[in-house]
């Protein structure tokens, strides 16, 4: 019979041993400060709205809206690749006209995003948690505004930019780098203008109520009603075409036409471009003042 | 509820450098210094001249509902301006330098309505990032903090599926995950049953003791402040009624309490003791006698004997926090 000697730990076991999980302990590293806090609010907000890291039902809305915005671009890219160039030019929309295809997606997205990000924070008490961090009301709102604007640019800048890149690769884009860059610049500015107006209106509504459903319905109602009422009044009663400036969803679309150097639906003699820009500033500035006034007075602690 | 995670030894992965648990000490004498703080909401005066200091340890902010506790916590966080006096938290004015103060504070609000579909670990990590921790560090510390409060096994559960007790623990975890100097807890045992409440208080005490984290907790429950706090600030009608260590507030036991058999003799005994130099307060058949030294015991014995007054009870008087609260609020 053989016997085995018990084997003890190697002589240098103590030197090799390492503590891997120390549990809770003091933190002595650097802190990222207010910029870091804003960054995490922006990224968390974007992930939340897009349903990333959340259950399947939270992904439905963003997927539907993004599909609505991108499918027309994909279809046009496909047709441009398949059809001869002389035929394709007759049915391809201009870049400014393309926003007409994405306006429904933009309307739905703006009515969904701002309530999701602003109302929820107040309803669940997260606003109090945010404001007990290095964030202030100003930096919190700045971070949320950036998050909402970035999300909306997925719909406003993404599809026409995709169209530009794809058509350029198919030799159906603008002539030369200069024209291409100018067009890209116009797409980006138009996208920012569209995002700014829709974000401003939906954020102003969301600053007024804690309930997401009410904020979504009010945003949709306000945008749709402003179009219907202004068009009815102008067409039926012949009031001044300046009333177009109160048509909230169409105003940034009209500005997009002017940015692209095209004639929109409103005549330039009836509603001049400087007047359009002035209306844009009033809407965005007025909404910002409304939002700040709501948050400035808000008791948030509980 | 999972057990707190202890030290573990593994091989084959990169070791985490072993850092000292020594805390970055607060270089101020007082964590909070309030001097004649006034806060008004229109004609309503929430605080009218509150003066107190809070030293390291666990301090209870005690007062009835609506006494101004939450307002005071909000002012410590820099969420509300003050209308008079001065307030410093960690040596800094929280209203003018809010971000600088709040990065070193943890806060657990009173409400339980946290985002229901957010996982506890994501929530705690997010709050840690808000307080300036890099993402990797925030993720690790969120996990560590949740293990510490006993939610290690539950950390990936959405908060909407958690009980009130678990959510209170999540709130504590998010308040400490970024390693603050001072943690403000607003009614941390609200909604808990007696056993959960004792567990929560023991947990706060353990975190304070083991990790030298300072706490200010607001409560309207006297016994829970008495159970775990080192000091208390008693607020009522917008004023600080009493403040100091529990020892100071409850007295040093130098007074004596006497209960006589015959109420008719109380006035004679009282007069006799006052004549002997003691300070006496009487109520019904009882007297509270204060004196310079232990001689009041002899005085009490002699005066009672001289009036043939039978003594039912005679003992050193040591106040409970409830006595202090009732005395100060009555005054």
Per CB-CB distance under 8 Å, the chain B contacts of A29 are 133-134, 137
Q: In the predicted model, what is the mean pLDDT of chain B? A: 84
DSSP 8-state code for residue B150: T
pLDDT in tens, A254-268: 999 999 988 877 876
Cβ of A124 under 8 Å from any chain B Cβ? yes
Inter-chain CB pairs, A–B, below 8 Å: 154
In degrees and rounded to multiples of 5, residue A282 shows phi and psi of -65, -45
Q: Is ipTM over 0.85?
A: no
Scan residues 25-84 of A and list those with Cβ closer than 8 Å to B.
25-34, 36-37, 40-41, 44, 53-55, 58
> Which has the higher per-residue pLDDT, A247 or B222?
A247
Is A58 in contact with B117 (Cβ distance < 8 A)? Answer: yes
Of B6-10, B123-127, B226-230, the poorest mean pLDDT is in B6-10
- Radius of gyration from C-alpha coordinates of chain B: 25
Question: In the predicted model, is pLDDT for residue A287 greater than 50?
Answer: yes
Would you state the structure tokens that stand for residue A170, as one six-digit string?
């198919």
Chain B residue with Cα closest to A126: B114
Percentage of chain B surpassing pLDDT 70? 89
Question: In the predicted model, is pLDDT for residue B5 greater than 50?
Answer: no
Which of A21, A28, A301 is the closest to B79 by Cβ?
A301
pLDDT in tens, A202-237: 999 999 999 999 999 999 999 999 999 998 888 888
Chain A residue with Cα closest to B136: A29
CA-closest candidate to residue A125, choices B117, B113, B172, B102 = B113
Chain A closest-CA separation from residue B195 CA (Å)? 25
Chain A residue with Cα closest to B210: A25
Is B16 in contact with A31 (Cβ distance < 8 A)? Answer: no
Chain B residue with Cα closest to A13: B11
Q: In the predicted model, what is the mean pLDDT of chain A? A: 88
Question: Residues near B7 by Cβ (< 8 Å), separated by ≥ 6?
Answer: A19, A21, A22, A23
Instruction: Give the span between the Cα atoms of B118 and B158, in whole angstroms.
Output: 5
Instruction: Give the span between the Cα atoms of B243 and A284, in whole angstroms.
Output: 50
Per CB-CB distance under 8 Å, the chain B contacts of A128 are 107, 109, 111
Cβ of A286 under 8 Å from any chain B Cβ? no
Per CB-CB distance under 8 Å, the chain A contacts of B73 are 301
Q: What is the DSSP string of chain A?
A: ----PPP---TTHHHH----B--S----S---HHHHHHHHHHHHHHHHHTTTTS-THHHHHHHHHHHHHHHHHHHHHHHHHHS-HHHHHHHSPPHHHHHHHHHHHHHHHHHHHHIIIIIHHHHTTHHHHHHTTT--HHHHHHHHHHHHHHHHHHHHTHHHHHHHHHHHHTT-S-SHHHHHHHHHHHHHHHHHHHHHHHHHHHHHHHTT-S-HHHHHHHHHHHHHHHHHHHHHIIIII---GGGGGG-TTHHHHHHHHHHTT---SS-TTTS-HHHHHHHHHHHHHHHHHHHHHHHHT-----
Percentage of chain A surpassing pLDDT 90? 57
Per CB-CB distance under 8 Å, the chain B contacts of A117 are none
Would you state the structure tokens that stand for residue B146, as one six-digit string?
């949740």
The SS3 assignment for B121 reads helix
- Give buried/exposed letters for A39-60 (b at 16+ CB in 10 A, else e): bbbbbbbbebbbbeebeeebee
Q: What is the DSSP string of B242-291?
A: EEEEHHHHH--S-SEEEEES-GGGHHHHHHHHHHTT-EEEEETTEEEEE-
Spell out the domains of chain B, with CATH numbers in brackets: 16-247 (3.40.50.300), 251-330 (3.30.70.980)
pLDDT in the model for residue B252: 64
pLDDT in tens, A20-76: 556 788 888 899 999 999 999 999 999 999 998 888 888 999 999 999 999 999 998
Question: In the predicted model, is pLDDT for residue B322 greater than 70?
Answer: yes
Chain A residue with Cα closest to B176: A24
- Radius of gyration from C-alpha coordinates of chain A: 26
pLDDT in the model for residue A229: 92
Which of B8, B115, B174 is the closest to A20 by Cβ?
B8
CA-closest candidate to residue A25, choices B43, B300, B21 = B21
For residue B105, how many C-alpha atoms fall within 13 Å in the half-sphere facing its CB? 35
pLDDT in the model for residue B65: 80
């Amino acid at each position: 019979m053989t016997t085995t000697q018990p084997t003890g730990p190697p002589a240098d076991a103590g030197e090799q041993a390492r503590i891997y999980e120390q549990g809770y302990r003091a933190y002595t590293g650097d802190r990222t400060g207010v910029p870091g806090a804003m960054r995490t609010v922006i990224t968390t907000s974007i992930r939340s709205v897009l349903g990333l890291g959340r259950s399947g039902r939270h992904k439905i809305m963003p997927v539907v809206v993004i599909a609505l915005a991108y499918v027309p671009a994909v279809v046009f890219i496909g047709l441009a690749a398949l059809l001869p160039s002389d035929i394709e030019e007759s049915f391809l929309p201009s870049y400014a006209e393309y926003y007409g295809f994405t306006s429904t997606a933009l309307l739905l997205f703006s009515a969904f995003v701002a309530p999701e990000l602003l109302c929820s924070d107040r309803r669940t008490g997260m606003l109090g948690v945010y404001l007990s961090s290095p964030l202030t009301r100003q930096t919190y709102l700045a971070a949320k505004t950036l998050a909402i604007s970035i999300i909306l640019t997925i719909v406003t800048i993404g599809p026409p930019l995709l169209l530009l890149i794809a058509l350029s690769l198919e030799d159906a884009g603008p002539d030369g780098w200069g024209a291409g860059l100018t067009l890209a610049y116009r797409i980006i500015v138009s996208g920012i203008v569209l995002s700014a107006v829709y974000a401003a209106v939906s954020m102003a509504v969301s600053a007024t109520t804690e309930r997401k459903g009410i904020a979504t319905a009010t945003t949709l109602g306000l945008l749709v009603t402003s179009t219907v009422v202004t068009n009815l009044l102008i067409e039926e009663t012949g009031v001044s075409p300046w009333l177009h400036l109160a048509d909230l969803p169409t105003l940034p679309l009209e500005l997009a036409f002017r940015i692209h150097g095209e004639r929109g639906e409103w005549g330039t003699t009836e509603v001049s471009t400087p007047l359009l820009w002035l209306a844009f500033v009033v809407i965005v500035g007025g909404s910002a003042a409304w939002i700040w006034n709501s948050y400035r007075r808000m008791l948030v602690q509980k | 509820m999972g057990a707190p995670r202890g030290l573990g030894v593994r091989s084959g992965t990169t070791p985490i450098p072993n850092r000292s648990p020594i805390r970055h000490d607060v270089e101020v004498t007082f964590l909070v210094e309030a001097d004649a703080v006034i806060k008004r909401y229109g004609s309503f005066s929430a605080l009218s001249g509150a003066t107190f200091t809070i030293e390291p340890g666990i301090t209870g902010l005690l007062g009835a509902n609506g006494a101004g506790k939450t307002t005071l916590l909000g002012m410590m966080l820099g969420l509300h301006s003050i209308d008079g006096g001065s307030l410093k938290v960690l040596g800094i004015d929280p209203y003018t330098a809010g971000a600088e103060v709040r990065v070193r504070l943890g806060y657990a609000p009173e409400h339980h309505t946290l985002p229901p579909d957010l996982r506890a670990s994501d929530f705690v990590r997010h709050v840690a990032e808000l307080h300036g921790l890099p993402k990797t560090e925030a993720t690790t510390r969120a996990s560590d903090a949740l293990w510490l409060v006993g939610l290690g096994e539950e950390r990936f559960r959405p908060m909407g599926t958690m009980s009130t007790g678990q959510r209170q623990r999540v709130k504590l975890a998010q308040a400490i995950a970024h390693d603050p100097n001072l943690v403000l807890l607003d009614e941390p045992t609200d909604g808990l049953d007696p056993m959960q409440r004792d567990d929560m208080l023991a947990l706060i005490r353990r975190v304070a003791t083991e990790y030298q984290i300072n706490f200010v907790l607001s409560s309207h429950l006297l016994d829970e402040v008495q159970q775990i706090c080192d000091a208390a600030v008693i607020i009522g009608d917008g004023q600080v009624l009493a403040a100091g260590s529990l020892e100071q507030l409850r007295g040093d036991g130098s007074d004596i309490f006497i209960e006589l058999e015959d109420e008719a003799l109380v006035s004679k005994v009282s007069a006799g003791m006052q004549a002997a130099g003691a300070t006496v307060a009487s109520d019904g058949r009882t007297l509270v006698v204060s004196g310079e030294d232990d001689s009041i015991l002899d005085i009490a014995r002699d005066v009672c004997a001289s009036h043939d007054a039978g003594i039912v009870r005679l003992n050193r008087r040591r106040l409970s926090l409830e006595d202090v609260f009732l005395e100060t609020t009555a005054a």
